[in-house]
C-alpha cells in the first residue's frame, strides 16, 4: 500500500511500481465459468448444494428441451465511490465509512488492528445506491485506511477511482446453467414443481477478483434462467411466451397474474404494437405517515454503531421492509405515550404536544429492534408484468429500447419514488 500526503502523489507513485513474475510455463487465465469447465480443472469446481427430485415428473411429454444459459457479471455503478476517513482519537478510532454493514466493519477492523471493538466508532450518513457493492467490499478500503491511521497516528483518507473499483472489488457473479424441460401439448411444464427437480449448484473459482453481492443476488439469475426457459418453450412450440407463462403460473396466483397481464396489454397497446413489430421485422415517509405529521419535521440522522449496535446489513429489502416496519412500531409506541398529553390540549400542533410532554417528563425516545420471527412483514410474492419494445440491428447487435410499460403490484406503497427507482 502506498501512503502519500496528497492523492496526486500517491497515484504518481503507483505508476512507478513494477511487477516481476517468475519464469515458468505460461497458463492461459481462466476468466469465465465456461473457461474453467473447458479446462477440466476439478479443483476449481466445488459443489455447493445438491437436491434430488422427491416426486416423479408428469408423463404427458410432447417436447423435451435441452439447452444452456449463461449470464455475465455486472458492475454495481454505485452512486459514490468506496471511501473511508479514519481519525485517531486518544486510544480510539473514529471512522466515516461508505458501507452497508456497520457491525461487519467494526468486527473486522478490530481483528485487523488487534484493538477492542468498543474503541472503534463508525458513522454512516447514508449509502444510497450501493446495490450490494458495499456490503462486504467496503471492508477492504476500511482496513487499509484504519491501518494507515493507526501506524502514522494521524487522520487518513482513502477514495478509490471507478477503475480501481472495477478491477479489484468484484461484480455480480456470472452463471452458466444446463437445463432440461419437458412440456405437454398445452405447453405446461411436466416437472415445474420444484419437488420434481434434480438440482446441483457448484461454486467455480476463476482468475478474476471474487464476485460479490449485487441487487437481488441469486434470485435475479434464477428468474432469468426460468424466463429463458419459457421463451425457449415458446420458440419450440411456436406459441406466445405470455400464453406459455400463464400455463405455468400456480393456480393460487393465476387469476391475479392474468388480470395484471390483461390490464397492461390494454394500457401498452400490446396487440397493435406487436403487429407493428412483426411487420417491421422508503423510511422517512413511514415515520411521517404513522405520526401524522409533515415530512419537513422528520430528520434521518446518520447510522452510528453506538446507537444501532448489533445491526444487520442494508442489503436485500431490509431497509424498505424491516427498518420501516421497526420505524412504524417505534412511532406507534411514541404516539401511545403522547396520546394523554394530546387529549389534554386544545387542537395542538406536533410542537405543542412534544413541548407539553417534555414538561410532564414523558420519554420522547422510542426504539424497536425488528424481530424476523415475530414482526411483519413475512415472506410475500411481488408480481409484475412488463411489455418492452426493442429494435435490434442483427448485424452489429446495437439496440434501441423504444418503449417499456411495467405494471407491478406494490400493495400500499410507502414511497412510490423508491419503487420506481428499483425498477429503473
- Please name which of 185, 215, 227 lies closest in space to residue 58, comparing C-alpha atoms: 185
DSSP type of residue 150: H
CA–CA distance from 205 to each of 34, 115, 134, 209, 318 (Å)?
11, 33, 22, 10, 30
Residue 155: the pLDDT is 96
Give Cβ neighbours of residue 281 (< 8 Å, ≥ 6 apart). Answer: none
Angstrom distance (rounded) from CA 382 to CA 403: 23
- Predicted pLDDT at 222: 87
> How confident is the model at residue 63, as a pLDDT?
85
CA dist 416 and 114 (Å) reads 45
Q: What was the pLDDT predicted at 280?
A: 53
Residue 363, classed as helix, strand or coil, is coil
In tens, the pLDDT along 268-277 reads: 888 888 776 6
CA distance 357 to 379: 38
Reported as a single tens digit per residue, the pLDDT across 47-62 is 888 888 777 777 777 8
Residue 384 has a CB neighbour count (10 Å cut-off) of 13
83-169 carries CATH number 3.30.365.10:
yes
CB 309 within 8 A of CB 403: no
Burial class (CB in 10 A: 0-12, 13-18, 19+), 317: middle
C-alpha cell at 152: 502514522
User: Can you count the helices (H) and strands (E) in the chain?
Assistant: 13, 11
Instruction: Extract the C-alpha cell encoding 77.
Output: 455503478
Three-class SS state of 386? strand
Query: What does the chain come to in residues?
Result: 424
Separation CA 78–CA 349 (nearest Å): 40
Q: How far apart are CA 419 and CA 404, in angstroms?
A: 16
Query: Where along the chain do its domains lie?
Result: 31-74+173-235, 83-169, 319-375
Q: What is the pLDDT of residue 276?
A: 67
How many whole angstroms separate alpha carbon 128 and alpha carbon 99?
10
Beta bridge partners of 202: 47
The pLDDT value recorded for residue 278 is 63
Q: In sequence order, what are the beta bridge partners of 394?
A: none
pTM of the model: 0.67
Residue for grid cell 414482526: 375
pLDDT along the chain (424 residues), means of 10: 91 90 78 89 89 75 86 88 92 93 92 94 83 90 95 94 90 89 80 70 89 88 89 88 86 87 89 70 74 79 78 72 83 93 91 92 90 72 86 85 88 75 76
Distance, CA of 340 to CA of 335 (rounded, Å): 9
214-234 residue pLDDT tens? 888 888 888 898 899 999 998
Burial of 324 (0-12, 13-18, 19+ CB in 10 A): buried
CA 150 from centre of chain: 33
Whether a cis peptide bond, with omega within 30° of 0, leads into 377 is yes
To which residue does cell 406459441 refer?
239
Alpha carbon distance 130, 167 (integer Å):
17
What pLDDT sits at residue 2?
A: 92
Q: At what angle do helices 324-343 and 350-359 cross, to 10 degrees?
A: 70
Amino acid at each position: 500500500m502506498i501512503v502519500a500526503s496528497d492523492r496526486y502523489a500517491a497515484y504518481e507513485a503507483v505508476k512507478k511500481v513494477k511487477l516481476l513474475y517468475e519464469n515458468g510455463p505460461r497458463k492461459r487465465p481462466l476468466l469465465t465459468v465456461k473457461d474453467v469447465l473447458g479446462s477440466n480443472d476439478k479443483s476449481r469446481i466445488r459443489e455447493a448444494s445438491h437436491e434430488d427430485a422427491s416426486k416423479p415428473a408428469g408423463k404427458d411429454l410432447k417436447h423435451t428441451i435441452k439447452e444452456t444459459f449463461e449470464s455475465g457479471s455486472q458492475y454495481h455503478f454505485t452512486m459514490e465511490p468506496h471511501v473511508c476517513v479514519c481519525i485517531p482519537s486518544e486510544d480510539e478510532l473514529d471512522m466515516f465509512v461508505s458501507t452497508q454493514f456497520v457491525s461487519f466493519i467494526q468486527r473486522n477492523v478490530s481483528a485487523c488492528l488487534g484493538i477492542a471493538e468498543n474503541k472503534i466508532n463508525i458513522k454512516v450518513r447514508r449509502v444510497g445506491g450501493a446495490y450490494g457493492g458495499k456490503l462486504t467490499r467496503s471492508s477492504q478500503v476500511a482496513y487499509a485506511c484504519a491501518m494507515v491511521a493507526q501506524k502514522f497516528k494521524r487522520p487518513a483518507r482513502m477514495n478509490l477511482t471507478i477503475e480501481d473499483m472495477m478491477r479489484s472489488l468484484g461484480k455480480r457473479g456470472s452463471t452458466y446453467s444446463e437445463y432440461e424441460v419437458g412440456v405437454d401439448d398445452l405447453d405446461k411444464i411436466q416437472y415445474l414443481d420444484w419437488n420434481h427437480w434434480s438440482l446441483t449448484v457448484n461454486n467455480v473459482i476463476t482468475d478474476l477478483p471474487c464476485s460479490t453481492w449485487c441487487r437481488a443476488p441469486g434470485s435475479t439469475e434464477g428468474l432469468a434462467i426460468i424466463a429463458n426457459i419459457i421463451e425457449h418453450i415458446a420458440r419450440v412450440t411456436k406459441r406466445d411466451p405470455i400464453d406459455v407463462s400463464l400455463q405455468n403460473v400456480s393456480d393460487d396466483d393465476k387469476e391475479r397474474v392474468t388480470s395484471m397481464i390483461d390490464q397492461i396489454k390494454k394500457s401498452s397497446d400490446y396487440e397493435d404494437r406487436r403487429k407493428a413489430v412483426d411487420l417491421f421485422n422508503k423510511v422517512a415517509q413511514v415515520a411521517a405517515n404513522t405520526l401524522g405529521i409533515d415530512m419537513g419535521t422528520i430528520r434521518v440522522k446518520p447510522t452510528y454503531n453506538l446507537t444501532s449496535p448489533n445491526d444487520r446489513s442494508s442489503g436485500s429489502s431490509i431497509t424498505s421492509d424491516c427498518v420501516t416496519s421497526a420505524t412504524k412500531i417505534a412511532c406507534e409506541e411514541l404516539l401511545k405515550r403522547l396520546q394523554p398529553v394530546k387529549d389534554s390540549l386544545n387542537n395542538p400542533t406536533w410542537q405543542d404536544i412534544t413541548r407539553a410532554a417534555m414538561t410532564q417528563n414523558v420519554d420522547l425516545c422510542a426504539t424497536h429492534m425488528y424481530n424476523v420471527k415475530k414482526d411483519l412483514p413475512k415472506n410475500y410474492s411481488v408480481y409484475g408484468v412488463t411489455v418492452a419494445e426493442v429494435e435490434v440491428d442483427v448485424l452489429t447487435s446495437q439496440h434501441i429500447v423504444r418503449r417499456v410499460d411495467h405494471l407491478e403490484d406494490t400493495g400500499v406503497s410507502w414511497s412510490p419514488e423508491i419503487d420506481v427507482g428499483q425498477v429503473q
